[in-house]
Amino acid sequence: MYLSRPTGVARFAASSSSSSSASLFPGVDVDTTTKTGALHFEETKERIKKLFDKVELSVSAYDTAWVAMVPSPNSLNQPLFPECINWVLDSQHADGSWGLLHNDQLLMKANLLSTLACVLTLKRWNIGHDHMSKALDFIKSNIASATDENQRSPVGFDIIFPGMIEYAKDLNLNLPLAPTNVDALVRKKELELRSCRSNSEGGKAYLAYVSEGIGKLQDWDMVMQYQRKNGSLFNSPSTTAAAFMHRNDDGCFDYLRSLLQKFDGSVPTIYPLDIYARLHMVDSLQKFGIARHFKEEIRSVLDETYRCWMQGEENIFLDASTCAMAFRMLRVEGYDVSSDQLTQFSEDIFPNCLGGYLKDFGASLELYKASQIITHPDESVLENINSWTSRFLKHGLSSDSVWSDRTDSVVKQEAVNALEFPYNATLERLISKRAMESYSGDIVRISKSPYACLNFGHQDFLELAVEDFNTLQRIHLKELEELQRWVVENKLDELKFFRLHLGYCYFAAAATLTDPELHDARIAWAQNGVLTTVVDDFYDGGGSEEELDNLIELVEKWDPDGEVGYCSKDVEIVFLALHSTVCEIGRRALVWQGRSVMRNVIDGWLALLKVMRKEAEWSTNKVVPSMGEYMEQAHVSFALGPIILPMLFFVGPKLSEEMIGSCEYQKLYKLMSTAGRLKNDIRSYDRECKEGKLNILSLWMIDGGGNVTKEEAIEAIKGDFERAIRELLGLVLQENTTIPRACKDLFWKLMSIVNLFYMEDDGYTSNRLMNTVKAMFEQPMDLDALLNK
């Protein structure tokens, strides 16, 4: 065996097919948007901005009915909140039911629950007899749904619904239910109660949450242990109303009164939900790829969230989804938040809370996403959460019975995306495309009753995302045409040793650098990606030793007309392409940076060529270096240096010579390149082994003296990879450092796309990836089709 200069990142551009990228994208209109389109775009943006001002929650007939049942402490025959009774009288549907109007037939259990609660309210105050008559007919006609396992079941239904039937008896209300139906419901309640009481703290929390279904048999001292600072029980109006009726607690009263003052005669099923709703809105905008249009609004949300985090706000820390989202978003944006706050959601503790007991799939998904933002070597709590949530999500996805309707399918697709594209292997453009394809504006969540929130998935999000995506697609196609001309003008298509696939190189840039104004950065990324592919092939057998030395000398002298000369036509093409491209980058960067960056770029290329020459000598002489010697060369030969540096000059901040020469820059570069090299070598080992070549995996086994298996070596290298990317992420997210955040982000983005490309194979043989590339450029998003699917 001998050492070959291992395949660099530029190999992403290589393909067994040498088809021109022009043939991939025929017949697409590349005209810019019209003035009318631009006006509509701005109007949509303004509507979305207004959503930041107020969280719009749907009314819960179920919870409003329970608040309406509360008697006045001064007279048990008088309602404390008569405005809720008026709402009940005014809000019955034509079929006799109450509840959220929705075309989902699987919400019938929820409608039965809400309708029976409203009937009990009217009976309690002896009014609305006609309303009750119609409602009882509705219940009689649909009671079979109460025991239908295919129906979406509100939280606690099996305890609350039978409990309300028993309460109806206390009120002398004759429900038109067959004894067999009632008996079946009562048996289910008894089974559920036994299960909860034999369970841990999570079962106790659940019993407290569904207190209205237990009534006078409830341990109200236990229930009041869950009272929050705002006076509520679990932020649930119905639970709080039931507690107030039994305990006459001042905190419960203050909470209920504040609700009525805010919502004017009706209440939602959960309140407050502001922090969660606004974080969810920010998350949606980010997934749709349109967050850059709302930077000020998002910063305001995150600043307020961070203030609440630092003050220990219950509405963050008592809810797994909110806490996980807050942690992830704040940490990613550079806020100083500790993962210690997530200890309560570790595998052995989470079941003790309500969400853990309910096996909340959505909360587990948010915890999984949060657990990936590891920036310190000792964050075992995040590792623990990542382990159990990934297992839990995979199990849930494999269970056919879990996914019964459109709402669940959206959550399912989010989980699929999160598992398939972890945070360290994410493409913004691809994520936004998938978010649009799985969009469902008709999202109804279900707690004790169904609820909707405009901030969760407004149709304007989709409209803006589609328009933005298609506009960027037209920009990208123009840039691709520019790159195709560049290839021909520099005669790169004439190099026989070079397999050109421009689509991959540009896809990496376009799918990552999504801002329209980053044209120069995308072009520089793609051009240098192609050029690193050229020299990669050239030094990996495409050129003779004389040619390799000739190219290095030419770059050192940097004079296309100088005395060095060209020993071959291939050397001339390669050098002149490199020279003209670097000079053009230098001219463009002068505008952005206000200084010449030519020397920085040339030095980057020279460093790469010399390392490649060294590895070519190793290969020729069959040298077997130590792992340390190998990695010192191999992280450079992975060829990210000439790609990352020119990009940094085109993203906004000015970079001085001191910044580029700083220890921080060098560390960012080395961590990024080391991670990429390790991932590359794991994936390419089998192929390179067959070719008699060495890489870090084979060197690891050699260093083990025959006592280390391939599997053991892979696990060890994976550990090195994980440590490298965690350290890289920590450095990227660290505030107040030498390198500006906008520049540090590019190191992470470039590492992420490397990781994504090497997730399944050796980075350039994936048909699935090629199909993704084609779809990104060929297929505009169709708003009507997305809305009507």
* Cα–Cα distance for residue pair 460/483, rounded to 1 Å: 34
The tally of CA atoms less than 13 A away on the side-chain side of residue 295 is 3
Q: Under a CB-based contact definition with an 8 Å cutoff, are residues 616 and 5 in contact?
A: yes
Of 578, 588, 572, 628, nearest to 608 by C-alpha is: 578
What letter would DSSP give residue 550? Answer: H
> Is 470 known as a binding-site position?
no
Q: How far apart are CA 139 and CA 385, in angstroms?
A: 43
* Residue bearing tokens 């203050």: 254
Nearest-10 crossing angle of helices 380-398, 361-370: 140
* Ramachandran quadrant class, 652 (left: phi over 0; alpha: psi -120 to 50; beta: rest): left
Report the first-to-last Cα separation within the chain, whole angstroms: 56
Distance of alpha carbon 140 from alpha carbon 144, whole angstroms: 9
Q: Flag whether 347 is marked binding.
A: no
- Give the angle 321-327-333 at the CA atoms, nearest 5°: 130
Q: Is 536 annotated as a binding residue?
A: yes
CB–CB of 672/747 below 8 Å?
A: yes
Q: Which long-range contacts (CB under 8 A, 24 or more apart) does 699-708 make?
A: 699/624, 699/625, 699/626, 699/627, 699/630, 700/627, 702/624, 703/626, 703/627
CA distances, 136 to each of 112, 140, 142, 389 (Å): 10, 6, 10, 43
The string of DSSP letters for 225-258 reads TTB-TTS-BTT-HHHHHHHHHHH--HHHHHHHHH
- Estimate to the nearest angstrom the gap between the alpha carbon of 211 and the chain centroid: 36
Cα 226 to Cα 196, 253, 273, 318, 531, distances in angstroms: 16, 15, 18, 10, 63
Lookup result for tokens 């395949």: 7
* Distance separating alpha carbons of residues 240 and 235, to the nearest angstrom: 8
Question: What does each C-alpha distance from 225 to 203, 240, 529 come to in angstroms?
Answer: 14, 12, 61
Q: How many Å apart are CA 202 and CA 218, to the nearest integer?
A: 16
Residues present in the chain in total: 789
Distance CA 296, CA 53 (A): 13
Tokens, residue 285: 């905008």
Does 684 belong to an annotated binding site?
yes
Residues 530-551, buried b or exposed e (16+ Cβ, 10 A)? bbbbbbbbbbbebbeeebbebb
Q: Is 264 annotated as a binding residue?
A: no
Annotated binding site: 536, 540, 680, 684, 688
Annotated binding site for Mg(2+): 536, 540, 680, 684, 688
